[in-house]
Amino acid sequence: MADTWVFDFQDGDATDKAALGGKGAALASMTQADLPVPPGFTITTDACRSYQQQSVFPDLMWKQVEEAIGRLEGLTGKEFGSSENPLLVSVRSGSAVSMPGMMDTVLNLGINEQARVGLARVTGDDQFAWDSYRRFVTMFGEIVLGVAPDRFEGAVKATLDMNGCDTPGNLPADALSGLVDRLKAIVYGQSRHEVPDDPFEQLRLTVGAVFDSWSNKRAQDYRNLNGIPHTLGTAVNVQAMVFGNSGPTSGTGVAFTRNPTTGEAHLFGEFLPDAQGEDVVAGMRTPLPIDHMAETFPEAYGQLLEIAGRLETHYGDMQDLEFTVENGKLWMLQTRSGKRTGRAAVKIAVDMAASGLIDERQALQRVSADQLEQLLHPLVDPAVEVEVIGVGLPASPGAVSGQIVLTADAAVDLSEAGTPVILVRHETNPDDFHGMVASRATLTARGGVTSHAAVVARGMGKSCVVGCSNMRVDFEKGLVRFDNVVLAAGDWITVDGNTGRVMAGQVATIEPETDEDFDILMGWADSHRKLGVRANADTPEDASEARRLGAQGIGLCRTEHMFFGEERIAAMREMIMAPNEVARREALAKLEPYQTADFEGIFTAMDGFPVTIRLLDPPLHEFLPNEQDLARELTDLKLRLRLLNGLDDIDRLLEEIHDREVVIAQVQRLAEENPMLGHRGCRLGLTYPEVTEMQARALFTAAVRCVDRGITVMPEVMVPLVGFEPELRTQAELIRSVAEEVFLYHGLRVEFLVGTMVELPRACLRADELATVAEFFSFGTNDLTQMTLGMSRDDSSRFLPGYVQRGVLPADPFQTLDIAGVGELVRIGVERGRGQRADMKIGVCGEHGGDAASIAFCHDVGLDYVSCSTYRVPVARLAAAHAALA
C-alpha cells in the first residue's frame, strides 16, 4: 500500500530491496527463514524520499512507528523506557545499494535513568547498564545533535586516567556514572539541547538524523565514486538490542563466508569478546581472528558456520555477516553480499561456477571491470632490498608509494596538486572518506580487516594496511614513529597491502602475474563478448605486452611517438626547419629507417592480427624546443658574449646565437593560437605530402619484409583529423600510390585498408561521403569529445570535478563517453557510414575504449571493436562480455 511506511521483519517483502533497503530485505529474509534474528521493523526508503522533499515525516508514518514499537514490546516481553524490563533498540540505515559506513547508526536507544535502573536489575550488572548509557549518550550527541567526537575525548581520557583503565568499558560503575553526567553536559554545551529522556522522542530525532545522513558529505562522495543514484534514499531499521558487551559469555563479530581478500572458501572474520559492534567496525580495539570463537564459544560458532553456509547458498554469493553472541546465544544482525578485492571476486566467481552454485554467465557478471583491474595492481619487487619499519594486517592489495599525510583534507589538497600521498591515521572513520579517495593507500595503527579503513579501501580497490601496532602518530607535531624510526608528514613510505608491510622510502614495484582463475574467467568473457578488443600501442614492446593480455590487434599506433628518441628528434627537427622540399626529403630519409624498423617490430609482435597505424597527427611545433627555454638560452649566450675576449670563443658564440635565433623564428612562425584546431593531422599531409609518402613507404616496406619472413600482416592506414571528403581522397590516393611502388619494387603484394579517424563533428555528420573513400572508421573520442563539448581535456580538469559533484554532468566526459551528445554523433557516423559501405569496419580508439560504461554503448551501437591502453585490455574484454550479457 502506498501509505504503508513501516514493515515488521516477519511481514516485509524480502525481495523488495528498493523499498526495504538491502539490510531490511535481508533481515526480513532471515526472519522468515527462522534464523535467530532480533525482532524489529523497517521504515521504507519511500518515507526517506518524502522526508527529504518535505523536511517532515510523511503522514501516518510516525503513528505506524509507534504501533510497530508496541508489537516489538509484545514480541520481546519488554517495554520501551521501563524501569522493570526495558526495551532498547538499535537504529540503523540501509539503502538498496550497500554503502558500508557511509550513513549513521545509534545503539542502545530507549535508555534513560529509569531504563538504566531496569537494565541493571534485569542483568544484575550495574556497570554494564551505565556503560550502555554512556554509549548511547555519545552516539546520540554525535549523530543526532552534531557534537564533534573530539569534544568527548577529553572527558573520557581524564576518567580513564583517573581510574587507571585503558577502555571505557572497563571503568567501574561509579566512574561511568560521573562520566555520563559529564558527557550530557558536553552535549548540552555544544548543541544547546538536552539528551531527551522520552524514548519516543529519542527515536523520532534519531530516525530523522538517519534520514538526513543520506545527504551527508561522505555518503554523497561514496555515491559519486561508485555511480550510485542520489535519489534512492535509505531505509531505517529499528531492531531490539542484543548485547555483546554483557559479560565474558558475550561478544560481537563480523564474518565473511569466504576470504574477501583471497577468495578462499573458509569462514573469515573477527570476533571481539564482551563488546558491541561498533567496537569492531570503528577499530577501537583490535579483535581476534574468527577461529578463536570456536574455542571460546564452540556452540555459537558451530551454529554460525551452519547459518553462513545456508545464507551463501540462498543468495548464491559470498556473504558479509554481522552477529552478536549474548550470554552464549547467537543472534544474526545482518547479511549482505560482501565487498571483496578483485582477486577474491575472480576466485569466488570461478569456484562457485565450478561447484554449480551459479552458472558461467552469472560468474562473469559477479566480477566488475573495476575489480578485474585490481588484479593488475603492482607488487613489491622481490629483488629489491627494503627497510621494513612496520607490519600490520593486509586489508586491500597493491604496493604503492606516497608522501605521508595525516589528515583527509591534506590528502585532498596535495593530491589535487599532483603529489601521490598515503593517508596515515590511528584509525579512520567515515569523515576520512574523501581523504581515502584522494590517497593512493591508507595506513592505520589500529583496527582489523573488517574495520572502516579496510572495508572502504577494498571497495575502492586501493591499497590498505591496518592494525600496524608499532606505529604511533603524533598529529600535533606531524610525526609518525615506527619504534626507533621517526618520519614526518611529507616523507615517503611504501605500503604493501598484499603482505601488510610498511617500508621507508619509495620502493620499486612490478606488475603481478595472473593465475588460472583469471585465465578461466577471461576465456568465458571471450566466448560471450561480441566486440573485439585491441590495444593502443606505439612500440614493439607495448604490442607484445598487449598481445599477452589478450589484445586482438592494435587499434591505434601513434607514429609521432616514434620520433622522440635523441637521434630521431634531431632528424625530425631538421625536417621541420628545412627551407624547401628537397631539404625536407633529405631529413625524412634519415627518419625512414627508424619508422620502418618500428613498424616491422609491431607487425611481428602482432603476427596474424590487424594493426591500425595513424599517420602524423600533432602540429609540428610540438617537436621543437619550448620558446621560453630557447629565449633563456639565447639571453645566456648573449650575456656570455659580453664577457669574452678571445676571437675563437666569440665566433663560436655568435654561431650558437644565430642558430637559436633561427629556431626561435621557426617556432614563432609555426606557433598557433589554438593548435588543436590548427595545422595538424591530414592538413599536414596535404601541405607536406612528402611526410605522408615517407610514412607510407616505411609502413609498406616493413609489411613486405614481414611477409617475406612468414609473418601474417594486416595493415590499416589511418588518416587523422579528416573533415572533408577531398582531404581523405587526396591522402588515400597518395598512400595507395606509394604502396604500389613498394610492392612493385619487392615483387610482393600485401592486402591493406585505408581509413580515417573520425574525430570531428562534421566527419560524423558527413560519414556517408567519407565512406566512399574510407574502408574503415575509428572514432577518436578524445578529440571528438573536445570538439563537441568545446572543452579542453587539459584545462577542463579545473572545473569538471565540480560539474560532476553538482550533478551538471553524470561523469567526467573524458573518462566516460557523453552518450547523449558525443554518443549521438557516433551513432550518426555509424549509421551513415554503413549506409554507404555496408561492410564498413568501425571501432573506437579513444580512452573511452577502456571504460566499462562506454564499452556498453559501443556494443549497443554496433561497433566491431574497442581499442584501449595496454593494461586495460582485460578490463575491456570483461566489460564487452558484460555488455553482451546485459
Q: Give the catalytic positions in this structure.
A: 452, 845
Q: Using H for helix, E for strand and C for coil, what is the string for 547-583?
A: HHCCCCCEEEEEHHHHHCCHHHHHHHHHHHHCCCHHH
Helices 689-708, 581-605: crossing angle, 10 deg rounding: 30
Q: Tell me how far apart the alpha carbons of residues 37 and 23 are, in angstroms, rounded to a whole number.
A: 12
611 contacts 702 by C-beta, under 8 angstroms: no
Angle at 600 between CA 569 and CA 708, to 5 degrees: 150
* Percent helix, percent strand, percent coil in the chain, to nearest 5: 50, 15, 30
Answer whether 399's CB lies under 8 Å from 372's CB.
no
Q: Given the DSSP bridges, would you call strands 379-380 and 492-496 parallel, antiparallel or unpaired?
A: unpaired
Task: Dihedral sign for Cα 262, 263, 267, 268, please.
Answer: positive
Spatial distance between the Cα atoms of 557 and 864, rounded to a whole number of angstroms: 18
- What residue type is assigned to position 10 of the chain? Q
Distance CA 502, CA 493 (A): 7
Looking at 22-152, which runs of residues are DSSP E strands?
40-43, 79-80, 86-87, 89-95, 105-109
Which residue, 84, 46, 37, 408, is CA-closest to 236? 46
Retrieve residue 194's grid coordinates. Answer: 538536552
Residue 560, all three cell numbers: 609521432
- DSSP secondary structure code for residue 487 in this structure: E
Q: Which three cell numbers stand for residue 553?
A: 590487434
Let me know: does 53 contact 230? Beta carbons within 8 Å: no
Q: Which helix (H) or strand (E) holds 441?
A: strand 441-444
Q: Return the H-helix or E-strand segment holding 715.
A: strand 714-719
Length in residues, the chain: 886
Instruction: For residue 103, count other CB atoms closer than 10 A to its CB.
Output: 25
364's grid cell: 562473469
> What are the φ/ψ torsions at residue 395 (nearest 5 degrees)?
-100, -30
Q: Are the C-beta atoms of 571 and 591 separated by less than 8 Å?
A: yes
Which residues touch 178 (CB under 8 Å, ≥6 apart)? 159
CA 599 to chain centre: 35
Contact 874, 549 (CB under 8 A): yes
Three cell numbers, residue 589: 630519409
Contact between 145 and 193 under an 8 Å Cβ cutoff? The reply is yes
The C-alpha atoms of residue 54 and residue 51 are separated, in whole angstroms, by 5
